Structure 1
Amino acid sequence: MGLPRFTRPKEEDGESSPNLYVANCGPAVGLSFDTIASVFSTYGEVKGVYEADETGTRVIISYSEESSAQEALNALDGHPCPDLNGRYLHIRYSVLQPHCQVNHLVPVSLVASELNIPGVYLLHDFVTAKEEEELLAAVDERPWKSLSKRRVQHYGYEFSYETRNVDTKRKLGELPSFVSSILERVSLFPDLDGAANMILDQLTVNEYPPGVGLSPHIDTHSAFEGSIFSLSLAGPCIMEFRKYSEGPSKPASSTSKNLENSDDSSSFLRRAIYLPPRSMLLLSGEARYAWQHYIPHHKVDMVKGSVIKRGPRRVSFTLRKVRTGPCHCAFPQYCDSQR
């Protein structure tokens, strides 16, 4: 699920609400969510501050009590607020839409150990800001292939989104020199079944515009070996994970928007982690073979009570080792080779 969604209250519901729609207020006008929360907490307990839309100039203030919202509206609507750079605020009541209740949100972990998923590792600041800039410049000098919602580049072997596999007989060449330092640094990860010593030979570069994510999937077992490395550049995102007890209802390598939008969480386990720019994620073992991973199609994400806006672009470098034979993993119910 995404962030909680708010709308104006219906006339039959009355005008009162614990939530306020506040215009001329937000990150785009130089006001942080912490500053906004601090000012509005003068009138009562603030449960959260959310972006009302994509402009960054309107927010939703959610109070624990309706009386607090009413007091804040009466005090601040149409008046300059000295503690918010003297801005004139325009405030109306707002209500939470029933189908987007906050308690449906998945708690987002900041470190991999909080996920309780064997085989997930995350290293922050895997590359420096300068290296990030150089990597982005390197791919921007090369041609992109446009998909329906994002752009990609393939190196080593081309990944087919139709078959969700690679043709091992059609090698594109060696990996580009601009990822040499990344390949050397992979040894910083724990050596899990030789993961750190694996000779990676396939690179997919994905560029995600704001609001574009990735549908739920497990990378095809027969296509790649047991460790997948993904470097996040330029912008942050949330990655979510799902594990179905009896295996997915569709082939494990398939993608499905129905899975992403489903609210029936009784049939699977669900986890989420925040991927900041310049971080490297490793999926190995159970995390790679048995858990679907995906990126929700959001423009903002909720992380530990804070709203984090995605950047104008996010670029990921996914490094893998192409498999030359069938997969013999310990998760046959998710494995295309063993089904």
Structure 2
Amino acid sequence: MDSSHQSNYKLSKTEKKFLRKQIKARHTLLRHEGIETVSYATQSLVVANGGLGNGVSRNQLLLVLEKCGLVDALLMPPNKPYSFARYKTTEESKRAYVTLNGKEVVDDLGQKIILYLNFVEKAQWKELRPQALPPGLMVVEEIISSSEEKMLLESVDWTEDTDNQNSQKSLKHRRVKHFGYEFHYENNNVNKDKPLPGGLPDICDSFLEKWLREAEKNSEVGIH
């Protein structure tokens, strides 16, 4: 619902609630991220709640956005609860603004998320691009295959461990399993004096051998 239409008719309670949340999303983006929205239609939109930080995947968001037109570019900054979408034409972005504002999507964990869209004059493509890697650092893409990834996921025991509750947590948009040390999200650190019992799943041994062989070819390899 465009706020410029308020003077034409009386808003319902649902529309008023949505409008408040859309305005709140707009103010939050400006206050915390410095992203300014505009009241007129442009080709670019910022999609609040439609980000990787909310557990929304790129493919999932594209499926929603492409129902309104050709998406010329989609930028999803890491760990952020928003994304930028640029349509081929302003008409398509206007259609997305009207159609998708307040749309409910389901994230990877089955939780419902409501999208709030606002126009932006320029999506921050350059500012939000990943920075260049430090000299000598190399990223090895697809170091494990899809089948190996499936084996790794299947090796994780997601049953509740009553003896060691710190190793497994349910966050807002994802589940996590800790190995080695518990990660403290409040300060982004670990307590090295309190290692978790057990170790990595046995299946990791073969992957570690593979990665170590890769490290021998290069001066250093980092695995996350």
Q: TM-score, normalised by structure 2?
A: 0.43
Q: TM-score, normalised by structure 1?
A: 0.31
Higher relative contact order (CA 8 A, sep 6+): 1
